[in-house]
Amino acid sequence: MVAKTNGSGEQGFPSFSLEIPVRFAETDAMGVVHHSNYIIWFEAARVAWMDAVGMPYREFAAGGHHFSVVGVRGEYRSPARFGDIVRVTATVRHLRSRQVSFEYVVTNVATGQLLMTGATDHICVDLEGRMARIPDAVMARLQAGMERLAE
């Protein structure tokens, strides 16, 4: 996987792109990527985005919190196939005291063709699964990292 920054999204939040080669195991009987794999790619791009802004998800979880997925949306535009390389671009849409939302754009690297758009919504939870505020130190690191990434 190759990762790189990709400028800023519509809301001014920085984007981060991750390039992923399509594996044969990700395809279905029709020879196209099974729809469930796009959600996995969203997660990979989201985790890479957090690494890029300097708040690795592993550290966030070790601090006693998780971002629980409460919503997933996607619109499939064109199929990806085995051997393609896809670029998944993740952009924060909203960052609030207890919530974060990401938008995603998936394209074929070779052709630039749009394959899918989507979004995920998350709430911050503690290790018992109760809604919690994003810790101030984490929020500060996310905001500082977004500023660096946007440069």
The per-residue pLDDT for 149 is 85
Distance (Å, whole) CA 95 – CA 74: 20
pLDDT of residue 10: 47
Cβ contact 83:22 at 8 Å: yes
Residue 147 and residue 133 in contact, taking contact as beta carbons nearer than 8 Å: no
**Spatial separation of the C-alpha atoms in residues 46 and 20, rounded to whole Å:** 13
State how far the Cα of 121 lies from the Cα of 123, in Å rounded to an integer. Answer: 7
Question: What's the fold here for domain 2-150?
Answer: Thiol Ester Dehydrase; Chain A (3.10.129)
Measured distance CA(42)–CA(66) in Å, rounded: 16
pLDDT of residue 142: 94
Q: Which residues of the chain register pLDDT less than 70?
A: 1-12
Q: pLDDT tens for residues 45-82?
A: 999 999 999 999 999 999 999 999 999 999 999 999 99
What was the pLDDT predicted at 150?
A: 84
Domain boundaries in the chain? 2-150
